[in-house]
Structure 1
Amino acid sequence: MISTLRPRPARGPDGDPAPRLLYGADYNPEQWPREVWAEDVRLMREAGVNVVSVAIFSWARLQPGPDTWDFGWLDEIMDLLHQGGIGADLATATASPPPWLTTAHPEILPVTERGETVWPGARQHWRPTSPVFRRHALRLVRELATRYADHPALVAWHVSNELGCHNIHDFSDDAAGAFRDWLRARYTTLDALNHAWGTAFWSQRYGDWAEILPPRLAASHANPTQQLDFKRFSSHALKEHLRAEREILREITPGTPVTTNFMVMGGTKGMDYADWAPEVDFVSNDHYVHPGAQDRDELSFSANLTSGLAGGRPWFLMEHSTGAVNWQPVNVAKRPGELARDSLLHVAHGADAVCFFQWRQSAAGAEKYHSAMVPHAGPDSELFRAVTALGRTLERLAPLAGSEREPAEVGILFDWESWWACEQDSHPTSLLDYRQEALDWYSALLALGVRADVVTTRADLSRHRVLIAPVLHLVPAALAGRLTRFAEQGGHLVTTYFSGVVDENDHVWLGGHPGALRDLLGIRIEEFGPLRAGETVELDDATTGSLWTDLITATAPETEVLARYRTGVPAGRPAVTRRPAGAGSAAYVSTRLGVTGLTALLPRLLAPAAVTGELPGELRGRVEATVRRSLGARFLFLVNRTDGTVPVTGVTGEILTGTTGEDGGLVLGPREVAVLRQPGPAAG
């Protein structure tokens, strides 16, 4: 587990590794002459770096030819790191195959839905289902594991890199064969597949497994269940590659934990990380801020979701940026304080490691304008001074290493299959944004000062008093049963438009929407009312809806109408409803209210559970509060969400990091984070 990832020279008084947070970066020494390496280690020590990821894109250097190996340079790097007290998160280097391999075996290259080959020249140019690629990749993994199994610098294995970032959907013949195998395992018989895919429509019935293809470019909209199953299969195929590498590493180095870096951030949706998380010894994530009105709320949301994937246990922030990235339309450097705030916000949500891409900014290549810990200007720079200051801050926060996130009363349910299904083609609207709707609810809770956990459908839902399930489009019968039990046993469910509409096969639950949740919610919808871009409706509670409306009929006498439409086609009809259910309740919000509207509505939705903000009123909305805890201690993070100064009153605790004013009180400067230690739960 991540708590074991301590550089070996750092020992506590009892001889065990001293508790500390990890700090570092991707390290690519092969891009630099040998004389730079010793200087790198010296600067790492100055900055407080104690772990680096190495060999991520080193396959061509490690294996220059089919039967030629060159480990000498990596041996030297591993030794230098160990001598400097720096641990190595050693990558398997399989992320991008070398030119000799793609030249000899072009059949490993991915193919697009249009039948175009994805050629070498960038990265991740390999098919997840290619047996040829798998054979060569696993050979490299075995060589690396055997060579470095007992090296004292090795603290963890890093499988590949950002699996699926560029090759999640491959439509090659290898993929077609593997897809058929996956479908056989899922459905067993063609009759079952034909039923699940609804192949009676458009004369698509299959009489032989060999007739089935991935959803390649077609004359019109491809079969929706075929599309959904291909998304499931594609995520599964990459997970199987992760498992194949992991098994070799566990065979040869059973005591060394294995991870791979997820990409839980805006826009990355192809990998079902809830399905992947049990396959690694500790969860790792990469995150980059996308500029926009909710950029730091999105960072918090993604870090929160990563914690949910980790089951609340500590996780590893494998990559984020010290400043500008290189791949956005306009790449803006971070403002003063944002480097530390972004880093500590991840720590607040459970990260026990803070790492960047990369250590030293590249002088050549596609990422030469991507920021790094040591910029082009060198260590005599404001950026490196900020990097070093963060290292000192993380040293002061060592006492919280290994602590878990304290569960919140509110949970936001996030489901990859609903995300995939609700944004497919041929739907009532193409404007729906699943992740944005979830983020809006999260931002509204932050505005009210209410802590929330972002969890998946695999989580224990009973830990929360309120469960918000935005656009939970795909609801199998088993999940519908769990949500019903949640409400009847005292929980308060809130869901939204386009929820409960289809089952696991993307078949509509008949009898009126929201199908699977209709009886629980006590409403019935005969027809959807999507809105055109820019079109809005007014509600009688003074909020404004967009994107969607529903023509709702209350079907249970106890269903309460919390708000009605005042304008538009559904004028006079219910817009927000709530029905008592057993000891709890189930509420439905039928339009997109945005952050402002949800902030106004949420107090009424939270009231049955008696959930209110935990911070004093003057801090709510201006400060995000997050809690980590261990036996005997509770660590309260206070994150300034504003660009102004916020005096902190009504909060007590030992200040581990933060600024005090002239009166000795805690003051949060613009974009600043403070951490307070408070008494926590005792053993037993």
Structure 2
Amino acid sequence: MSGARVAEGMMLFGADWNPEQWPEKVNDADLRLMREAGVNRVSLGMFAWSTIEPQDGRFELDWLERLLDRLDAASIGVNLATPSAAPPWWLLDAHPEIQLVDAQGRRVPGGGRLSWCPSSAVFRHYATRAAAVLSEAFGRHPALSLWHVGNEFGNENAQCFCDECAIAFRSWARRRHTTLDTLNRAWGTAFWGHGYTAWSQITPPRTTRNPPDPGLALDYRRFCSDQLLAHYRAEVVAIRGAGSTVPATTNFMIAQGADAIDHHAWSAEVDVVANDHYTVAADPERHRELAFSADRARGVAGGGPWLLMEHSTSAVNWQPRNRAKGPGEMRRDTLSHIARGADGALFFQWRASTAGVEQFHSAMVPHAGVHTRVWREVCELGAELARLAPVTGSVVERAEVAVLWDAQAHWAMDAARPPTIDVAYPLLPERTHRAFHRRGIRVDVLHPDDALAGYRLIILPGLYQASAGLTERLDAAVRSGMHVLITALSGIVDDTARVIGGGYPGAFRELLGLRGEELLPLQPGQRVRLSDGSTAERWVEHLTPTTSRTTATFSDGPLRGLGAMTRRELGAGTVRYVAAVLAEESFDALAGALTAELGIRPPAAATGTAVDLVRRVAADGTGFLFCINHGAEEAEIAVYGEDLLTGRVARGTGAVPAGGAAVFRERRTSLSGGHHDERGQS
């Protein structure tokens, strides 16, 4: 990430605005309502290609210019989108070859969005031409604040299997592996006699009667992410070539364990990290998944501020049962993202559509209009975000706990045929994050290549693939005093998806001081007890300690009496292993024991377990303590300072009502009991 500021001196608030879907007379009402709600940023043009270019080479931009002029007059900045997410019918009719081909070799018909092939030279020509035309016309317009390139890359076109992709993949594979001998070794093609003797034999992992080689499947996911990134770069080059220097980004989808692209690899290419997030109605603790997603987004942003490009005011349209958010939930969701580093929160979309597949997706202006609870909450939220202007540019206080997440480890696990279908890659990282979140302990979510220094506890939850050099860096960190917890299903394969021989978990075997002999998935509903009172489910492993000591054994099940947890002292730190998937309540207990042993505490003392506490810190050292109460009872927080949302001053204790929130600008205060700092600690 280049480090461009998300915003200057204000918290961004607004939505995707799609005026092309409405009669022009609606624009007047929209602009008036935007001012009423406190909107200061909108995204324009995301799905407007057919309006911007109704025929090949005939661009109609007067309507867009009028809107930009009016938005500028209203002091509303614009994220101007390039429209490549939704190619128009005239392009699909003239060039059906630009459309995706699925793994079965079937051409995906038009009519949706992101239906284009990332390798298509024809599509890239038209998309970059449109980007250049927009840049030439509006690249210096005073309303333009950010280029919004495309939309949710990979959300529907994460992989294409067409012949053009096959040609591009061969070139990609040749650059990565150099020789066929190297490629054959990496992919293990001697198995089933799949060795390649010519580059022309290499094809995408299309559907056959058997799954593809894991090494091939993993490399293809890498290739597809790289192809999408190449397309993003091409559009940015077209924008820059037309003279615009305004920062550019695209909206990631870091949510619900998704890894359509390698966000870590992309992060260096965007000027501002932006993310879309939607809660899942079926999850009774959806606010905890939201926290995990926001922590991941901040990790992708290198710990700096980022932008929430999309979320919903209420219900979405794509879940089996699209639950409406309750009173105050939109506010809590928004503030949770901002607490975790977002310098603004935008919605999809401004006005609820009356037609199209997202006609029942909520919006800032609902179908029922402004005499609604949603609209009242939107206006209240806009006023509150204006009061949070001092928070912009501050960074989230560094956590003491870090969790490692890697999209490529996710893809490697998906590419394999592991011994069970009951453990998907996101399960263990999400379970780990939730366990600490329930205790009010903040977690940073890092990529394995990120700097590890400064953390008290590093957790590798099911990190199936180990990146090069990670073991050595962990060894050095532990010897210097860090504590590391590694769980089952970690370090199984290398970066070519080959199982690391010599015993599980291959990459971390020597560091942990143990040797795993066998992987034993459990049957549905089967549970195994451990000697420390924990319960395992889904997965256990047979291990033998070498230089580590056993801290818990299996009390029953196929490994009765054998080690289930180990600990090794190494230098000034420790490294531990859990040879099982612990049930959620048992992992919660383990997280509690670790935080107590290591002295890891929440950012401030609070009553109740449903209060989310996150501190952001400005360059001058000012702390902003976000207190978001997801519970049904009032919570008390140990804090000194002014609540920016209400103006109330806390002198040692601040109350946050049930379902409410507060953002305290902390201050140092000398009291008779000693000197208290902005953390409410002596």
Is the TM-score greater than 0.5? yes
Tell me if the contact between 1:38 and 1:80 (Cα under 8 Å) persists in the aligned partners. no
Residue 252 of structure 2: aligned partner = 262
1:45 matched to 2:35? yes
For 1:623, which of 580, 587, 611 is the aligned residue?
Answer: 611
User: Any unmatched runs of 5+ in structure 1?
Assistant: 7-16
Among 379, 386, 389, the alignment partner of 1:398 is: 389
Q: Counterparts of 1:247 and 1:518 in 2: how far apart (Å)?
A: 46
Distance 1:649 1:129, change over 3 A: closer
1:662–1:551 CA distance, 2 compared to 1 (3 A): closer
In 2, Cα distance between equivalents of 1:504 and 1:489? 27
Would the aligned equivalents of 1:66 and 1:101 in 2 still touch at CA under 8 Å? yes
1:674 and 2:662 equivalent? yes
SS of aligned partner of 1:624: strand
Q: In structure 2, what is the equivalent of residue 596 of structure 1?
A: 585
The verdict on how the C-alpha distance between 1:267 and 1:412 changes in structure 2, with shifts beyond 3 A counting, is closer
**Distance change (3 Å), C-alpha of 1:247 and 1:458:** farther
Match of 1:34 in 2: 24
Q: Is the 8 A contact 1:627 1:634 kept in 2?
A: yes
Q: Does 1:380 align with 2:371?
A: yes
Asked if the contact 2:154–2:260 (Cα under 8 Å) also holds between the matched residues in 1, the reply is yes
**Partners in 1 of 2:646 and 2:558 — Cα distance?**
53
**C-alpha deviation, 1:607, in angstroms:** 5.2
Q: Distance between the aligned counterparts of 1:571 and 1:441, measured in 2?
A: 25
Matches within 5 A, 1:357-506: 357-506=348-497
Q: Which residue of 1 aligns with 2:131?
A: 141
SS in 1 for 2:210: coil
* Match of residue 535 from structure 1: 526
| Contact 2:638/2:653, CA 8 A, preserved across alignment | no
Q: Is the 8 A contact 2:4 2:271 kept in 1?
A: no
Would you say 1:115 and 2:115 are equivalent positions?
no
1:14 aligned partner? none
Superposition pairs for residues 160-199 of structure 1, below 5 Å? 160-199=150-189
Alignment of 1:257-296 (within 5 A): 257-291=247-281, 292-296=283-287
Cα offset, 1:251, TM superposition: 3.3
Quote the offset at 1:363 in angstroms.
Answer: 1.0
Change (3 A) 1:645 1:661: farther
Question: C-alpha distance in 1, partners of 2:630/2:75?
Answer: 36
Q: Per-residue deviation at 1:250? A: 2.8
The answer as to 2:109 corresponding to 1:126 is no
Cα distance per residue 1:559-615 (max 9 Å; x no partner): 232221111011111111111122211111121223311121124334564323443
SS of the aligned residue for 1:247 comes to: helix
Offset of residue 555 of structure 1 = 0.4
Counterpart CA distance in 1 for 2:440 and 2:6 is: 34
Is the contact made by 1:5 and 1:155 (CA closer than 8 Å) also made in structure 2?
Answer: no
Q: What is the distance in 2 between the residues matched to 1:47 and 1:476?
A: 47
Distance 2:367 2:160 in 1: 37
Task: Give structure 2 stretches of 5+ with no counterpart.
Answer: 669-676
Amino acid at match of 1:629: V
1:552 and 2:540 matched: no
Counterpart contact for 2:529–2:554, Cα < 8 Å: yes
Residue aligned with 1:618, SS: coil
Question: C-alpha separation between the residues in 1 aligned to 2:417 and 2:635?
Answer: 51
How far apart are 1:658 and its partner, in Å?
Answer: 5.6
Deviation larger for 604-613 or 303-312: 604-613
**Residues 337, 670 of structure 1: 8 Å contact kept:** no
Q: Which amino acid aligns with 2:639?
A: V
Alignment CA distance shift 1:346-1:476 (3 Å): closer
One-letter amino acid matched to 2:169: F
Give the 3 Å change call, closer, same or farther, for CA 562–153 of structure 1 in structure 2: same
- Do the aligned partners of 2:306 and 2:343 also contact (CA within 8 Å) in 1? yes
Does residue 324 of the first structure (1) align with residue 315 of the second (2)? yes
CA distance in 1, matches of 2:650, 2:203: 70
CA distance in 2, matches of 1:317, 1:650: 29
For residues 3 and 648 of structure 1, the distance between their equivalents in structure 2, rounded to whole angstroms, comes to 37
Q: State the shift of 1:666 in Å.
A: 3.1
Find the counterpart in structure 2 of residue 153 from structure 1.
143
One-letter code aligned to 2:321: V
- Post-superposition CA distance 1:432-457 (Å, at most 9, x none): 12212111111111222211111112
**Deviation digits for residues 214-238 of structure 1, max 9, x if unmatched?**
0001121211110111111111110
Cα deviations across residues 326-362 of structure 1 (Å, max 9, x unaligned)?
A: 1111111000010100000000000001000000001
Contact 2:528–2:537 at 8 Å: present in 1 too? yes
Question: Contact between 1:658 and 1:667, CA under 8 Å: does it hold in 2?
Answer: no
| Residue 299 of structure 1, aligned match among 274, 290, 312 | 290
- Asked if residue 350 in structure 1 is aligned to residue 338 in structure 2, the reply is no
**Which deviations, in whole Å up to 9, do the C-alpha atoms of 1:253-298 show, x marking residues without a partner?**
4531001000000152221101111100010000000121331100
Give the Å deviation of 1:76.
Answer: 1.0
Range that drifts further, 93-102 or 607-616:
607-616
- Cα contact 1:423–1:430 (8 A) shared by 2: no
Distance in 1 separating the partners of 2:598 and 2:639 = 24
The 8 Å contact of residues 305 and 453 in structure 1, kept in 2 or not, is answered as yes
- Report the Cα distance in structure 1 between the residues aligned to 2:646 and 2:414, rounded to whole angstroms: 43
> Which residue identity does 2:265 align to in structure 1?
D
The TM-score with structure 1 as length reference comes to 0.95
Q: CA deviation at 1:252?
A: 3.2
Q: Report the Cα offset of residue 64 of structure 1.
A: 0.8
| Among candidates 646, 652, 658, match of residue 634 of structure 2 | 646
Instruction: Say which of 547, 563, 580 aligns to 2:569.
Output: 580
Q: 1:576 to 1:253 in 2, by over 3 A?
A: farther
Please give the per-residue CA displacement for 1:407-461, whole angstroms capped at 9, x wherever unaligned: 1010011111111112334211111122121111111112222111111123211
Query: 1:450 and 1:293 mapped to 2: Cα distance?
Result: 20
Cα deviation for residue 127 of structure 1 reads 0.3
Using the TM superposition, name which of 524-533 and 204-213 deviates more.
524-533
CA distance in 2 between counterparts of 1:664 and 1:511 reads 57
Matched, 1:567 2:556: yes
Residue 103 of structure 1 corresponds to which residue in structure 2?
93
SS of 1:628's equivalent in the other structure is: strand
The aligned amino acid for 1:44 is M
Distance in 2, matches of 1:261 and 1:389, equals: 26
Question: Cα distance, 1:632 vs. partner?
Answer: 3.0
- 2:654 maps to amino acid: L
| Structure 1 contact 142–248 (Cα < 8 Å) conserved | yes
Q: What's the CA shift for 1:153? A: 0.5
Q: What is the CA distance between 1:661 and its match in structure 2?
A: 12
Matching residue within 55, 58, 67 for 2:57: 67
Question: Are residue 217 (structure 1) and residue 210 (structure 2) matched?
Answer: no
- In the alignment, what sits opposite 1:12? none
Q: Deviations over 1:13-41 (max 9, x none)?
A: xxxx5x11000000000001111112111
Question: Partners of 2:6 and 2:448 in 1: how far apart?
Answer: 29
The 1-side partners of 2:458 and 2:214 are apart by: 29
1:509 maps to which of 496, 500, 508: 500
Deviation of 1:57 after TM superposition, in Å, equals: 0.5
CA contact (8 A) 2:151 2:250 kept: yes
1:465 Cα deviation from its structure 2 partner: 1.5
Q: Paired residue for 2:83?
A: 93
Distance 1:386 1:606 in 2: 37
**Cα distance in 1 for residues equivalent to 2:526 and 2:658:** 36
Percentage identity across paired residues of the two chains: 42
| Farther off after superposition, 156-165 or 660-669 | 660-669
Q: 1 CA distance for matches of 2:592 and 2:633?
A: 27
Query: How far has the Cα of 1:476 moved from its partner?
Result: 3.6
